[in-house]
């Protein structure tokens, strides 16, 4: 006898469909999505995440809740993701900690390389080398000459210890053959405050952080650390075109899922986030902050991370960088 199809049996078939990763893509999302941000509210990563999430809600038709979970050099936020269901409703906004923590920290409760799946890179925040207003160097060549003339006496601030700015400074110091005094700050605003006051000779911070001291006439930008010139500083040369070919070390952030999240959901989130990232609304909010919005595919992001992981590991080990 042919079984009778009832509303209850159809509901059961729907549940089976959701259990299949391939079919889950068609049903996802049907409720609120959570983005865990590994950084404090109001910072660059948080600002980028909230700008993208606001537009992404329109693309996906579901609310996205942004939750800041700081601490443990971003391990707290990463752990929160891994403790959540792998159903495509919780994601992590993280940055270079994904690549540097395994080298910098002795005990991490998970393997970064296998526990997380790249979804998309949200943004790049190009960095600059800037000097206080009365420092004699007018370009990066003169800065290097001054550092060579006074080895170990020129102070350069970065936020924070072992962050992307510190790593970029270490790479520059090594390639330029100079020796400076490194001053670690908790954040870019703190470093900007001290160069404004003339406490440090120079800083290596993001384009957004250096803007107030420059506008106040208390600092001059000598070079940017990105491979291409920055739209907000079109007349400032890159280190790559100033004798350091290939130099490209920016602050950045990206979206990650926990390993085991259905691949179709990761692909769909990556595509939807890319649409949001490239929107006029997000550009209008992030361009003034000096952000370079990205929105690449999971595959492209994964390849970029692999290259960065190798490069940053080498810098940390050769420079002897620690979290302290």
Sign, CA dihedral 194-196-197-200, equals: positive
DSSP category for residue 288: G
Phi-psi region of 295 (alpha: psi -120 to 50; beta: other; left: phi over 0): left
Asked whether residue 217 falls in the same domain as residue 262, the answer is no
Torsion-angle region of 198 (φ positive above 0: left; ψ -120 to 50: alpha; else: beta): left
In this prediction, residues 286-309 reach a mean pLDDT of 95
Q: What is the pLDDT of residue 26?
A: 56
Residue 230, in any domain of the structure:
no
CATH number of the domain enclosing 19: 3.40.190.150
In this structure, are strands 251-258 and 90-94 parallel, antiparallel, or unpaired?
antiparallel
| pLDDT for the residue numbered 128 | 97
Position 237 in a domain: no
77 found inside a domain = yes
pLDDT of residue 20: 40
Tracing tokens 């980028």 back to the chain, one arrives at 48
206 and 279 assigned to the same domain: no
Q: What is the pLDDT of residues 145-157, one digit of tens each?
A: 999 999 999 999 9
| Encoded tokens for 13 | 């078939």
Q: Is 245 a domain residue?
A: no
Q: Kindly provide the residue ranges of all beta strands, DSSP E only, lying in the chain, ordered along the sequence.
A: 33-37, 64-68, 90-94, 116-125, 127-132, 155-158, 181-184, 202-206, 219-224, 251-258, 292-293
Per the rule left: phi > 0, alpha: psi between -120 and 50, beta: everything else, 232 is: alpha
Rounded mean pLDDT, 31-48: 93
**164 and 132 in a common domain:** yes
Residues 115 and 132 in one domain: no
Rounded CA-CA distance 241/236 in Å is 10
* Residue 41 located in a structural domain: yes
pLDDT averaged over the chain?
A: 91
From CA 289, how far away is CA 282, in angstroms rounded?
11
Q: Which two tokens stand for residue 282?
A: 């997000």
Domain that holds residue 117: 7-124+251-319
Measured CA to CA in angstroms, residue 265 lies from 53, 88, 101, 227 at distances of: 16, 6, 27, 32
**Considering the domain boundaries, does residue 231 fall inside one?**
no
On the question of pLDDT at 21 being above 70, the answer is no
> How many Cβ atoms are within 10 Å of 11's Cβ, its own excluded?
9
Residue 7 has pLDDT above 70, yes or no: no
Are residues 76 and 216 both part of a single domain?
no
Give one word for 52, left, alpha or beta, with left for phi > 0 and alpha for psi -120 to 50.
alpha
Q: Is-contact 106 135, C-beta < 8 A? A: no
Assess if residue 112 is contained within a domain: yes
| Whether 7 contacts 37, CB under 8 Å | no
């Amino acid at each position: 006898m042919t079984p009778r199809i009832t509303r209850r049996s159809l509901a059961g078939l729907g549940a089976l469909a959701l259990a299949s990763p391939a079919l889950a893509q068609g049903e996802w999302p049907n409720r609120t999505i959570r983005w865990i941000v590994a950084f404090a509210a109001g910072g660059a990563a948080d600002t980028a995440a909230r700008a993208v999430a606001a537009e992404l809600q329109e693309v996906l038709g579901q609310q996205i809740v942004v939750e800041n979970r700081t601490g443990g050099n971003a391990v707290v936020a990463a752990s929160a993701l891994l403790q959540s269901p792998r159903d495509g409703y919780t994601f992590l906004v993280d940055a270079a900690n994904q690549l540097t923590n395994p080298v910098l920290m002795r005990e991490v409760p998970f393997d970064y390389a296998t526990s997380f799946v790249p979804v998309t890179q949200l943004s790049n925040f190009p960095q600059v080398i800037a000097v206080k207003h009365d420092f004699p160097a007018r370009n990066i060549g003169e800065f290097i000459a001054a550092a060579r003339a006074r080895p170990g006496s020129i102070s350069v601030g970065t936020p924070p210890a072992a962050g992307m700015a510190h790593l970029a400074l270490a790479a520059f110091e090594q390639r330029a053959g100079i020796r400076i005094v490194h001053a670690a700050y908790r954040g870019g605003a703190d470093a900007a405050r001290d160069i404004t006051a003339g406490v440090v000779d120079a800083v290596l911070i993001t384009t957004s952080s250096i803007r107030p001291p420059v506008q106040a006439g208390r600092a001059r930008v000598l070079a940017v650390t990105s491979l291409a010139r920055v739209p907000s500083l079109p007349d400032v040369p890159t280190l790559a075109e100033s004798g350091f070919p290939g130099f490209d070390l920016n602050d950045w952030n990206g979206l990650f899922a926990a390993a085991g999240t259905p691949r179709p959901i990761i692909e769909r989130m990556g595509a939807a986030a890319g649409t949001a990232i490239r929107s006029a609304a997000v550009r209008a909010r992030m361009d003034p902050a000096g952000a370079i919005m990205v929105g690449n595919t999971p595959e492209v992001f994964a390849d970029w991370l692999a290259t960065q992981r190798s490069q940053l590991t080498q810098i940390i080990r050769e420079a002897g960088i620690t979290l302290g």
